[in-house]
Structure 1
């Protein structure tokens, strides 16, 4: 049994790889697992950065999330738009910050 097969991928992440009205992902379990690990690690790494932005710029949590989301959507970020939204939502969860509409729509 490989390490990838033991990783519990949340349904919210698997949903990123489901086409509308389909139940089978459009990527392999291994591919989804690799992307999940990358996105989870990215969200975890961004927690300290987000807290630093909030403290140094004296902005709201929502403003921090908007800024980070814009960065995740930039070319070369390493994540798709759907993954960027998932990373942002996960980051807010890790920090116990509310997910504002502005951050969702950024």
Structure 2
């Protein structure tokens, strides 16, 4: 999946692989979805930090709250993409990954 400059990480590719490890969508589709999810995670860094400084809840509560919004149908993300965005956000913030499920 490296026919352009964007390197899609294995953690994201796994969202679109079947049980045998084959992509269940086109490489272009996966790359586009990855870009959307990566951009979403990056865009949530500042709001998450603002919540951490203004309300001082624990990091996990902020991430779980953001996951609740992302997993809703209105977000345009699949449940597995929403989970990936939150895990990536935790990584960007250097916060522990929260326990979240993919339920809508």
Q: Same fold by TM (over 0.5)?
A: yes
RMSD of Structure 2 on Structure 1 (CA): 1.6
In the superposition, relative to structure 1, how do residues 98 and 8 fare at CA in structure 2: closer, same or farther (>3 Å)?
same
Pick aligned residue for 1:31 from 7, 29, 32: 29
- 4+ residue segments displaced more than 4 Å: none
Deviations 1:52-103 (A, max 9, x none): 11122220101000100000011210110000010000000000001133xx
CA distance in 1 between counterparts of 2:31 and 2:13 reads 9
Deviations 1:9-47 (A, max 9, x none): 000000000122x22111111100100000000000000
User: 1:4: how far off?
Assistant: 6.2
User: 1:105: how far off?
Assistant: 3.6
Alignment correspondent of 2:52: 54
Q: Which has the higher helix share?
A: 1
In structure 2, the gaps of 5 or more residues are: none
Paired residue total: 101
TM-score (norm 2): 0.89
In structure 1, the gaps of 5 or more residues are: none
